[in-house]
Amino acid sequence: MIKLNVNGQIREIDADPDTPLLWVLREWIGLTGTKYGCGVAQCGACTVHIDGVATRSCSLPAGSVGAARVTTIEGLSSDGLSHPVQVAWLQHEVPQCGYCQSGQIMAAASLLAEKPSPTDTDIAEMITNICRCGTYQRVKEAIHTAAALAGPVGGPSGGKS
């Protein structure tokens, strides 16, 4: 039995502790917004927050999470739209097929929590998720917009290198 705190809810799950968190989220809890892309922490489609930090859940044993807070795309904002990253993503029409976007959004939200006004270099270093449709240009622009929306630290134009 694994005990997890997912999106603020305590879940008791009857799965082998070695089961990657990704599959516990998708198949045991039914939260399918977190995606499978590679299974080897390469693509980032499975990105969730562990205590606020972007983490690739496909390679993280669920049993190792302990009491840490797990946040998935479903728990990023109450309505699925109002996190500054989601607002900026809609404004810039970032998604194409959309499959990688949960991971991109979670990675971006974590980056902004750590660096409220990231430079292009920060973004290039921190956002390593694969998008086969090639939305990277809009991902970058939307992160700058989200930084401005989120408020005062960087200012509206803050941080763009």
Partner 1 sequence: MTQTTQFGRRFFLTAAAVAGGGFSLGWSAPEAAAQAAGGSELGIWAVIHADDTVVVRIARSEMGQGTLTGLAQLVADELDADWRFVKAEYVAPDVNYANKRAWGDMSTGGSRGIRASVDYVRKGGAAARAMLIEAAAKKWSVPAGECTTAMSVVTHTPTGRTLRYGELAADAAKLPVPADVAVKTPAQWTLIGRGVKRLDTVEKLSGKLVYAIDLQLPDMLNASIAQSPVFGGKLKSFDAAKIKGMPGVRYVVPVGDDAVAVVADKWFQANTALAALPIVWDEGKNGDVDSAQIAAFLKEGLDAKEAALCQAHGDVSAAFAGSAKKIEAVYGAPFLNHATLEPMTATAKYADGKVEVWVSSQNGDASLAAAAEAAGVKLDAVKVNKHHLGGGFGRRGQQDYTRQAVLIAKQIPGRPIKLIWSREEDMQHGFYRPITQCKLTGSLDADGNVTGLHARISGQSILAYLAPARMENGVDRIAFQGWIPGEFGYQAIPNLKIDHAVRNTHVPVGFWRGVNTNQNTIYMECFIDELAHAAGKDPIEFRRKLMAKAPKHLAVMNAVTERAGWGTPLPKGVFRGFAQNCGFGSYTAAVAEVSVSAKGALKIHRIVAATDPGYAVNPDQIAAQVEGSFVYGLSATLYSEITIQKGRAVQGNFDTYEVMRLADMPKVETVIVPSGGFWGGVGEPTIAVAGPAVLNAIFAATGKRIRTLPLSHHDLRPA
Nearer to partner 1, 67 or 75 (CB): 75
Joined tokens for residue 134:
């090639």
| Cα 95 to chain centroid, rounded | 14
CB of 29 to partner 1, least distance (A): 11
Q: Based on the shown chain and the rule CB under 8 A, indicate whether residue 30 belongs to the binding site for partner 1.
A: yes
Q: Based on the shown chain and the rule CB under 8 A, indicate whether residue 73 belongs to the binding site for partner 1.
A: yes
CB of 38 to partner 1, least distance (A): 5
SS3 123: helix
CB of 43 to partner 1, least distance (A): 6
Dihedral pair phi/psi, residue 18, rounded to 5°: -80, -10
CB of 113 to partner 1, least distance (A): 18
Q: Which residues ranging from 84 to 143 are in contact with partner 1 (CB under 8 A)?
A: 86-87, 89-91, 93, 95-102, 105, 123-125, 127-140
Task: Name the residue with tokens 């902004």.
Answer: 112
Share in percent of the chain as helix, strand, coil (round to 5): 40, 15, 45
Dihedral pair phi/psi, residue 153, rounded to 5°: -55, -55
Q: Based on the shown chain and the rule CB under 8 A, indicate whether residue 57 belongs to the binding site for partner 1.
A: no
> Contact region for partner 1 (CB under 8 A) — 16-24, 63-71, 110-118, 149-157?
16-24
Write the CA distances from 87 to 7, 40, 64, 108, integer angstroms.
20, 30, 33, 12
Task: Name the residue with tokens 């029409």.
Answer: 93
Q: Based on the shown chain and the rule CB under 8 A, indicate whether residue 43 belongs to the binding site for partner 1.
A: yes
Binding site for partner 1 (CB under 8 A): 16, 19-20, 23, 26-28, 30-40, 42-43, 45, 72-74, 79-82, 86-87, 89-91, 93, 95-102, 105, 123-125, 127-140
